[in-house]
């Protein structure tokens, strides 16, 4: 199973001709198992300027199984953030540590082009999808 980050959904819904958008398109076309975190759905949906685009994306995202991080997942995400800071690795967003921890918990790889996730993966069990 893969989790698709906001950066990949944005490229896909914007119709970008890019490796990450192409990789997501293949995953959707082939029925590769894809899950979503509600916070990723929120980030993705808030970026739409038109109601039609919002509705179209919501139609796709709402069909995916959602990973619901537990309280313990949130605590471990905070620990991951703190651990990275002690190593001198600065992650710009708290949410990125939550997404990474939820992926690790679910044994899911993350499809993203966000550099913060590359930093997290180099210091944790987070697996990234190649594209």
The C-alpha atoms of residue 16 and residue 47 are separated, in whole angstroms, by 15
Contact between residue 35 and residue 108 where contact means Cβ atoms under 8 Å apart: yes
pLDDT digits (tens, 9 = 90+) for 14-72: 999 999 999 999 999 999 999 999 999 999 999 999 999 999 999 999 999 999 999 99
In this prediction, residue 4 carries a pLDDT of 98
pTM: 0.94
């Amino acid at each position: 199973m893969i989790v698709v980050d906001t950066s990949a959904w944005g490229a896909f819904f914007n119709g970008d001709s890019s490796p990450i958008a192409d990789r997501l398109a293949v995953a959707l076309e082939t029925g590769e198992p894809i899950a979503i975190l509600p916070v990723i759905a929120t980030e993705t949906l808030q970026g739409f300027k038109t109601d039609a685009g919002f509705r179209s994306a919501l139609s796709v995202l709402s069909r995916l199984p959602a990973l619901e991080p537990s309280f313990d997942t949130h605590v471990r995400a905070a620990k991951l953030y703190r651990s990275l800071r002690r190593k001198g690795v600065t992650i710009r967003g708290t949410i990125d540590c939550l997404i990474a921890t939820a992926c690790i918990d679910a044994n899911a790889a993350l499809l993203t082009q966000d550099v913060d996730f590359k930093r997290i993966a180099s210091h944790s069990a987070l697996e990234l999808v190649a594209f």
